[in-house]
Amino acid sequence: MVRVLVLQPAKKIMDKIVEILFTPQPRHPKEWKPAFLAMQLGFIAGGFGLLGRDLLIFLSVENWTPIIGFELLFASIIGVGFVLHTFGFAATGVVIACVAGVASATCFIVLTGWATSFYLWYVNLAVLTLAVPIRGWTKWSIAISFIAVYSLAYLFLSESAAVIEIPTLTEQILAVSNIVGALLILGLPMGLYSKFLVEERERSERLLHNIMPKEIADRLKGNKRTIALENPEITVLMADIVNFTAFSEKVSADEVVKLLDGIFSEFDDVVEDLGVEKIKTIGDSYMIVAGLPQHREDHAQILYQLCFELHRIAGGFVDDEGNSIRLRIGLNSGPAVSGVIGKTKFAFDVWGDTINTTARLEAHGEPGKVHMSERTYLIIKDQFDLDLEASEVVMKGKGKVTTYLV
């Protein structure tokens, strides 16, 4: 028991350290967050590399003090960059660390010679600087400076003798470690950063596909012009919850949202399974279209069948008095225009008389029934062996309209 009590605070401390090291802080710039973990792992891997290199030098080089002294000096500066990056000062931390890394590489070349391959870090850190989201002119200035230092080092130091003599085996081990380390320190952040960018892109695409058909989303990504489609024959379904206004006035906002989310989420599932398009929700109304952006011959039939599935789903929910939820559904077929307009908060939508008529059919419908236009009825009646009695409804702007209720 005592041991458990002792371990719990230690575990909390470790959890806090892990959280600080591997979770972006609130002030961390948004554009840097995908690269945060990659950069942190790069810093940590570099730290372990430094310890291994210093141990090798300590064990094999007689005059090791200047080498390790300068190494620790520059390592402390890189450590400052690591701390700054950890606590959200991302760009400053990375720039400080990269500049210190270039200075450290130059010092090592002077002390141990060109053959130890520390020159690889010039290109390595230049590429890393270009990869991270530092302001354009700043990153290019820094990267070009690193390459300039590399060029000068090649001209003046590549043939120079090392200040401190080191064993051949140590020289070879340092060269190999720099080759592997350069690949690791650059490859690890770049690889993880690329992975995060791919995940972010896929997440954005899923979000975009959730608010409009995939074909439209793909066109929108490649074309900034207004997207408009002529749809000569589609079927539109509009469903509305009966007595929803009265219900929403009697219950809390949480209960209203919970009910709508529950019903519409199940609607979303069946809509996706059937391959038709949810256009939007407006309050307690839910709008579905079949036959766009790609035409389908069964546009009316598929939505007629869907009507009864929506009634079944809604009936599985109850209002504040324990009564089953009921829908009014309007169903209509005809031509329409669809597209995406605007620059901000844009959405895919459908316009035309077919849409307006569907809305009026829904408004003049009856709870638990499907109110369809004559046009839709004529398309589906043979397939479903329907023999319904026609009725006439007076609609605003249209006069008397023949409809069918089922």
Considering the domain architecture, whether residues 109 and 253 belong to the same structural domain is answered as no
- φ, ψ for residue 305 (rounded to 5)? -65, -35
Q: Look at the block and give the residue holding tokens 């059919």.
A: 361
* Confidence class for position 293, pLDDT limits 50, 70, 90: confident
pLDDT of residue 388: 87
Q: Do residues 127 and 201 both lie within one domain?
A: yes
228/201 same-domain check: no
Q: Tell me how far CA of residue 321 lies from CA of 203, 272, 302, 362, in angstroms.
A: 40, 31, 33, 24
- The verdict on 73 and 89 lying in the same domain is yes
| Co-location of 168 and 224 in the same domain | no
Sign of CA pseudo-dihedral 379, 288, 368, 302: positive
Q: Are residues 316 and 380 in the same domain?
A: yes
Cβ 362 vs Cβ 238: under 8 Å: yes
Q: What is the pLDDT of residues 395-405, one digit of tens each?
A: 887 888 899 99
pLDDT at position 12? 81
Spatial contact of 120 and 182, defined as CB atoms under 8 Å apart? yes
Instruction: Tell which phi-psi region holds residue 47, choosing left (phi > 0), alpha (psi between -120 and 50) or beta.
Output: alpha
What pLDDT is attached to residue 224? Answer: 56
Q: What is the pLDDT of residue 222?
A: 64
Cα 200 to its chain centre, rounded Å, is 3
Q: Of the ranges 195-204, 238-247, 266-275, 288-297, which one carries the lowest mean pLDDT score?
A: 195-204
The 3-state DSSP class for residue 400 equals: strand
**Per-residue pLDDT, 146:** 95
Residue 7 pLDDT grade (very low, low, confident, very high; cuts 50, 70, 90): low
pLDDT at 287 over 60: yes
Domain match, 246 and 160 both: no
**Helices 33-60, 65-86: crossing angle, 10 deg rounding:** 170
Would you call 40 helix, strand, or coil by DSSP?
A: helix
Question: Does pLDDT of 59 surpass 90?
Answer: yes
Structural domain including 74 reads: 2-208
- 314/135 Cα distance (integer angstroms): 53
Residue type, 349: D
Asked if residue 161 and residue 257 are part of one domain, the reply reads no
Q: Over 80: is that where the pLDDT of 387 sits? A: yes
- Tally the C-alpha atoms within 13 A of residue 81's C-alpha that lie toward its C-beta: 23
Number of domains in the chain: 2
Based on the fold, state whether residues 163 and 65 are members of the same structural domain: yes
Same domain as 198, residue 257: no
Number of Cβ atoms within 10 Å of the Cβ of 211: 14
CA 275 → CA 203, 374, 397, distances in Å?
Answer: 21, 25, 33
Is residue 113's pLDDT more than 90?
A: yes
370-373 and 327-340 beta bridge pairing: parallel
Residue at a domain's end among 193, 208, 223 = 208
Picking from 208, 233, 249, the residue at the C-terminal end of a domain is 208
Q: Label residue 188 by pLDDT band (50, 70, 90).
A: low
73-82, 83-92, 343-352: least confidently modelled range: 343-352
For 366-373, what is the mean pLDDT? Answer: 93
User: Is the dihedral angle over the CA atoms 71, 72, 77, 81 positive or is it negative?
Assistant: positive
Answer with the one of 208, 233, 259 that is the final residue of a domain: 208
Mean pLDDT value of segment 2-14: 66
Residue 209 confidence (pLDDT): 66
Does the structure show a pLDDT above 70 at 226?
no
CATH code at position 325: 3.30.70.1230
Mean pLDDT of 74-88: 93
Asked if residue 53 has pLDDT above 80, the reply is yes
pLDDT score of 239: 94
Q: Is the pLDDT of residue 111 over 90?
A: yes
Cα angle vertex 383, ends 379, 387, to 5°? 80
Do 198 and 222 fall within a single domain? no
Tokens of 274: 């059937």
- 200 in the same domain as 236: no
For the chain, what percent of residues have pLDDT higher than 90? 49
Mean pLDDT of the chain: 86
Q: Which residues contact 396 (CB under 8 A, 6 or more apart)?
A: 360
Please state, in angstroms and rounded to a whole number, the distance separating the CA atoms of residues 121 and 179. Answer: 9
User: Are the CB atoms for 297 and 289 separated by under 8 Å?
Assistant: no
d(CA 192, CA 205): 20
Query: CA distances (Å), 382 to each of 67, 301, 379, 385, 387, in order?
Result: 91, 11, 8, 5, 9
Please give the average per-residue pLDDT across 34-54, as a whole number: 84
Question: Residue 61's pLDDT is what?
Answer: 92
Residue 376 in contact with residue 331, Cβ under 8 Å? yes
Which is more confident, 340 or 145? 145
